[in-house]
Protein backbone atom coordinates (compact mmCIF):
# COMPACT_ATOMS: atom_id res chain seq x y z
CA UNK A 1 0.00 0.00 0.00
CA UNK A 2 1.38 3.38 -1.00
CA UNK A 3 1.89 5.87 1.82
CA UNK A 4 0.92 9.51 2.12
CA UNK A 5 2.59 11.50 -0.63
CA UNK A 6 3.61 15.13 -0.35
CA UNK A 7 5.30 17.58 -2.68
CA UNK A 8 7.51 19.43 -2.89
CA UNK A 9 9.95 18.11 -0.28
CA UNK A 10 11.69 21.47 0.03
CA UNK A 11 10.72 25.03 -0.81
CA UNK A 12 12.56 28.30 -0.33
CA UNK A 13 10.73 31.59 -0.90
CA UNK A 14 11.05 35.25 -0.06
CA UNK A 15 8.71 36.78 2.50
CA UNK A 16 5.45 38.10 1.06
CA UNK A 17 5.55 35.50 -1.72
CA UNK A 18 2.95 32.77 -1.97
CA UNK A 19 3.48 29.01 -1.81
CA UNK A 20 1.38 25.87 -2.13
CA UNK A 21 1.86 22.36 -0.84
CA UNK A 22 0.19 19.24 -2.13
CA UNK A 23 -0.84 16.07 -0.32
CA UNK A 24 -2.19 12.78 -1.62
CA UNK A 25 -3.45 10.59 1.23
CA UNK A 26 -3.53 6.84 1.37
CA UNK A 27 -6.23 5.54 -0.94
CA UNK A 28 -9.60 5.29 0.76
CA UNK A 29 -8.66 7.37 3.80
CA UNK A 30 -11.55 9.63 4.71
CA UNK A 31 -9.78 12.01 7.07
CA UNK A 32 -6.86 14.26 6.17
CA UNK A 33 -4.82 16.55 8.39
CA UNK A 34 -2.30 19.32 7.86
CA UNK A 35 0.23 19.97 10.63
CA UNK A 36 2.84 22.69 11.06
CA UNK A 37 6.06 21.66 12.79
CA UNK A 38 8.34 24.54 13.74
CA UNK A 39 11.95 23.61 14.45
CA UNK A 40 12.33 22.25 17.98
CA UNK A 41 8.60 21.75 18.50
CA UNK A 42 6.05 19.03 18.02
CA UNK A 43 3.58 19.17 15.15
CA UNK A 44 0.58 21.46 15.57
CA UNK A 45 -2.69 20.74 13.80
CA UNK A 46 -3.67 23.40 11.28
CA UNK A 47 -6.73 21.86 9.66
CA UNK A 48 -8.63 18.58 9.56
CA UNK A 49 -10.83 17.43 6.67
CA UNK A 50 -13.35 14.64 6.70
CA UNK A 51 -13.91 13.71 3.07
CA UNK A 52 -14.10 17.19 1.49
CA UNK A 53 -15.54 19.03 4.50
CA UNK A 54 -13.60 20.94 7.17
CA UNK A 55 -13.88 19.42 10.67
CA UNK A 56 -11.46 21.66 12.56
CA UNK A 57 -9.57 24.73 11.35
CA UNK A 58 -9.42 26.55 14.66
CA UNK A 59 -5.63 26.90 14.54
CA UNK A 60 -5.34 27.87 10.89
CA UNK A 61 -4.24 31.53 10.43
CA UNK A 62 -7.02 32.26 7.99
CA UNK A 63 -5.73 35.68 7.02
CA UNK A 64 -2.87 34.04 5.14
CA UNK A 65 -3.41 30.27 5.11
CA UNK A 66 -6.01 28.42 3.09
CA UNK A 67 -6.61 24.76 2.37
CA UNK A 68 -8.93 22.73 0.24
CA UNK A 69 -9.63 19.09 -0.41
CA UNK A 70 -11.38 18.71 -3.71
CA UNK A 71 -13.42 15.55 -4.25
CA UNK A 72 -12.36 14.28 -0.85
CA UNK A 73 -8.99 13.00 -2.05
CA UNK A 74 -5.97 15.27 -2.68
CA UNK A 75 -5.46 18.41 -0.65
CA UNK A 76 -3.61 21.69 -1.15
CA UNK A 77 -2.38 24.03 1.58
CA UNK A 78 -1.56 27.59 0.52
CA UNK A 79 0.20 30.45 2.26
CA UNK A 80 -0.25 33.96 0.87
CA UNK A 81 1.64 36.10 1.73
CA UNK A 82 4.34 34.17 3.60
CA UNK A 83 6.04 35.53 6.71
CA UNK A 84 9.40 34.62 8.23
CA UNK A 85 7.66 32.78 11.08
CA UNK A 86 6.01 30.41 8.59
CA UNK A 87 9.35 28.62 8.16
CA UNK A 88 8.56 25.09 9.27
CA UNK A 89 7.91 21.55 8.11
CA UNK A 90 4.35 21.04 6.88
CA UNK A 91 3.16 17.50 7.49
CA UNK A 92 0.14 15.85 5.96
CA UNK A 93 -1.49 12.83 7.58
CA UNK A 94 -4.48 10.64 6.81
CA UNK A 95 -6.72 8.32 8.75
CA UNK A 96 -8.92 5.56 7.31
CA UNK A 97 -11.92 6.18 9.50
CA UNK A 98 -14.37 9.05 9.39
CA UNK A 99 -16.18 10.35 12.42
CA UNK A 100 -15.44 10.75 16.09
CA UNK A 101 -14.07 8.09 18.31
CA UNK A 102 -11.95 6.44 15.67
CA UNK A 103 -9.18 4.30 17.05
CA UNK A 104 -7.27 4.24 13.80
CA UNK A 105 -3.79 5.61 13.53
CA UNK A 106 -2.83 8.72 11.61
CA UNK A 107 -0.33 7.94 8.86
CA UNK A 108 2.07 10.75 8.07
CA UNK A 109 3.74 11.83 4.87
CA UNK A 110 7.41 12.90 4.62
CA UNK A 111 6.56 16.60 4.94
CA UNK A 112 7.56 19.75 3.08
CA UNK A 113 10.31 21.88 4.57
CA UNK A 114 9.54 25.56 3.94
CA UNK A 115 12.15 28.25 4.39
CA UNK A 116 11.02 31.87 4.19
CA UNK A 117 13.85 34.37 3.68
Partner 1 sequence: AQTVTQSQPEMSVQEAETVTLSCTYDTSESDYYLFWYKQPPSRQMILVIRQEAYKQQNATENRFSVNFQKAAKSFSLKISDSQLGDAAMYFCAYRFFGNEKLTFGTGTRLTIIP
Beta bridge partners of 73: none
Nearer to partner 1, 24 or 31 (CB): 31
One residue of 60, 79, 82, 93 binding partner 1 per CB under 8 A: 93
- Taking CB under 8 A as the criterion, which residues in 72-91 touch partner 1? 89, 91
One residue of 13, 26, 45, 73 binding partner 1 per CB under 8 A: 45
Which of 35, 51, 31, 49 minimizes the C-alpha distance to 104?
A: 31
Using the rule CB under 8 A, is 28 a contact of partner 1? no
* Residues binding partner 1: number (CB under 8 A): 26
**Cis peptide preceding 74, ω within 30 of 0:** no
Interface residues with partner 1 (CB under 8 A) are 31, 33, 40-45, 48, 55-56, 89, 91, 93, 95, 100-103, 105-106, 108-111, 113
Amino acid sequence: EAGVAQSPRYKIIEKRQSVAFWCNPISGHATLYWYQQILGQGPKLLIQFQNNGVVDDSQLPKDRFSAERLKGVDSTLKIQPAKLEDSAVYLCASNPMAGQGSTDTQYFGPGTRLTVL
